[in-house]
């Protein structure tokens, strides 16, 4: 399963970002292999619709679930 973590930086050691649509980076982690990829959030500076655009981008990466400190319940 692939999960996405919103991050302030491009490293696994970077702090998590509580913002989804305006985070700096998305870190996609494959929970089966623990491999990960880092993607810059191009929609973070959008004038509007950043959350929708970010969601569409993350979905296109095949992510199954968010692991965001605010979204996780």
> From CA 34, how far away is CA 48, in angstroms rounded?
33
Query: What's the token pair of residue 72?
Result: 């996780």
The count of structural domains within the chain is 1
Domain that holds residue 29: 2-66
Tell me the pLDDT tens digit for each residue of 26-67: 999 999 999 999 999 988 776 777 788 888 999 999 988 777
Mean pLDDT for the chain overall: 85
Secondary structure (DSSP) of 20-53:
STT-SEEEEEETTT--EEEEE-GGGG-SS-HHHH
Closest CA to 58 of 32, 21, 31: 21
CATH of the domain at 44: 3.30.420.130
Residue pair 29/36 in contact (Cβ under 8 Å)? The answer is yes
Is residue 7 helix, strand or coil? strand
Flag whether 29 is in a domain.
yes
pTM of the model: 0.82
Question: In this model, does residue 72 exceed pLDDT 70?
Answer: no
């Amino acid at each position: 399963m692939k999960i996405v973590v919103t991050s302030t930086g491009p490293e696994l050691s970077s702090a998590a970002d509580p913002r989804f649509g305006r985070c700096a980076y998305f870190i996609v982690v494959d929970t089966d292999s623990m491999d990960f990829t880092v993607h810059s959030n191009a929609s973070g500076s959008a004038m509007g619709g950043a959350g929708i655009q970010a969601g569409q981008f993350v979905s296109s990466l095949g992510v199954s679930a968010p692991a965001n400190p605010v979204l996780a319940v």
